[in-house]
């Protein structure tokens, strides 16, 4: 058995071992609520850490290894993307363009919903009507998420590093992937393309995932159910502004249904923290059940895989296996 856990953004300058321990401890806590224990050895829980790499890749001063690639790639202006994500978040809370328009000057009205001033007014309304939700809105305005979705060099660097978590997996291993927040985007993109992974995945567990948000879903088009994935379980807190919508047929068209669970009561300040998700009894129980299943349950578990590990931008990301 292998459990691969992918963290979200804003994890730079953290100790990978301590971060991994935090995740595993929360998962054990959630499993204990259901009278369960993790049926997996500690060394088989794989936690690829890319927090520092993601920061360096999207900073004004790129890491030395990528300087030549950075020169060759045009600058991507991500303001429009970030504004679209935030405006969808605002609309999800009933804060429409008309409501914002009534709060801003005529000059800002002329600039429209894709201006920084409009976004600031929207965040102020979130603060007023949905306490603490604006922090989540600011998170998804972050440049690094947009850069990953729109720049091939950033994706290659992160994906090839995360792919190392799967290198010890065999074709008959029972593999479960857990992706939180931005980590669910990385997990989905890698599993959907199946270019860097040489083994099927028995279950994909996404928690606090923004995959259903229109701007993010559009950047990943065409969306589909990854053929190497068996069961897909998506859990979210309805007050989590990042996981704005469920992964249903309206927001995530696909041929195979995704099981959505909206009953998480995430007690973190913005309802998005990892402890609040992994310590949830239903979420932890689903992960334990997926690990206990014998053999991969994918639709194409034995089909040939392309082994096209991109060398461009491949970097030494940490894949720690001990706490």
* Secondary structure string (H, E, C) spanning 149-211: HHCHHHHHHHHHHHHHHHCCCCCCCCEEEEEECHHHHHHHHHHHHCCCCCCCEEEEEEECCCC
Domain of 302 in residue numbering reads as 2-59+151-320
pLDDT band at 2 (very low <50, low <70, confident <90, very high): confident
Nearest-angstrom CA–CA distance, 57 and 321: 24
Position 281 scores a pLDDT of: 97
Does 163 reside within a domain? yes
CATH number of the domain that residue 27 is part of: 3.40.50.1820
More confident residue, 123 or 274: 274
Q: What is the pLDDT of residues 178-217, one digit of tens each?
A: 999 999 999 998 888 767 677 789 999 999 998 988 888 8
- Counting residues of the chain whose pLDDT is more than 70, the rounded percentage is 77
Q: What is the mean pLDDT of residues 50-68?
A: 62
End-to-end CA distance of the chain: 18
202 CB-near residues (< 8 Å, 6+ apart) = 174, 175, 176, 230, 231, 290, 293, 295, 296, 297, 298
Whether 132 and 174 share a structural domain: no
Backbone angles phi, psi at 97, to 5 degrees: -60, -35
> For all residues of the chain together, what is the average pLDDT?
77
Element (H, E) at 91: helix 79-92
| Cα 184 to Cα 208: distance, rounded to the nearest angstrom | 8
> CA–CA separation, 200 vs 194, rounded Å?
9
Looking at residue 321, its pLDDT comes to: 36
pTM of the model: 0.74
Tell me, yes or no, whether 186 lies in a domain: yes
Q: Same structural domain for residues 13 and 124?
A: no
- pLDDT tens digits along 165-176: 887 777 778 899
- Which range has the top average pLDDT, 66-75, 230-239, 305-314? 230-239
- For residue 72, is pLDDT > 70? no
Can you give the pLDDT at residue 255?
A: 62
187 plus 309 within the same structural domain: yes
């Amino acid at each position: 058995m292998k459990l691969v856990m992918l963290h979200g953004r804003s994890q730079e300058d953290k100790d990978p071992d301590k971060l991994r321990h935090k995740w595993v401890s929360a998962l054990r806590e959630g499993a204990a609520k259901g009278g369960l224990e993790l049926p997996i050895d500690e060394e088989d829980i794989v936690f690829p850490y890319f927090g520092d790499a993601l920061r360096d890749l999207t900073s004004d001063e790129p890491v030395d290894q990528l300087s030549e690639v950075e020169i060759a790639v045009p600058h991507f202006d991500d303001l429009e993307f970030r504004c679209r994500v935030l405006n969808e978040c605002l609309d999800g809370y009933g804060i429409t363009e008309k409501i914002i328009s009534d709060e801003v000057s005529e000059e800002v009205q002329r600039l429209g919903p894709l201006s920084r001033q409009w976004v600031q007014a929207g965040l102020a309304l979130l603060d007023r009507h949905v306490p603490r939700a604006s922090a989540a809105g600011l998170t998804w305005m972050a440049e690094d998420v947009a850069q990953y979705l729109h720049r091939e060099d950033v994706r290659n660097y992160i994906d090839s590093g995360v792919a190392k978590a799967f290198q010890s997996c065999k074709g008959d291993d029972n593999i479960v992937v857990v992706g939180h927040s931005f980590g669910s985007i990385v997990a989905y993109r890698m599993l959907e393309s199946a270019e860097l992974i040489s083994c099927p995945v028995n279950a994909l567990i996404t928690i606090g995932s923004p995959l259903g948000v229109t701007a993010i879903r559009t950047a990943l088009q065409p969306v589909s159910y990854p053929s190497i994935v068996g069961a897909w379980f998506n859990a979210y807190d309805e007050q989590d502004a990042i996981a704005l919508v469920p992964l249903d047929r309206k927001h995530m068209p696909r041929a195979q249904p995704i099981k959505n669970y909206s009953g998480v009561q995430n007690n973190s300040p913005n309802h998005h923290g990892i402890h609040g998700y992994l310590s949830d009894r239903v979420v932890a129980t689903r992960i334990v059940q997926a690990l206990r299943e014998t053999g991969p349950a994918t639709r194409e578990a034995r089909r040939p895989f392309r082994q096209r590990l991109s060398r461009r931008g491949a970097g030494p990301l940490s894949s720690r296996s001990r706490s």
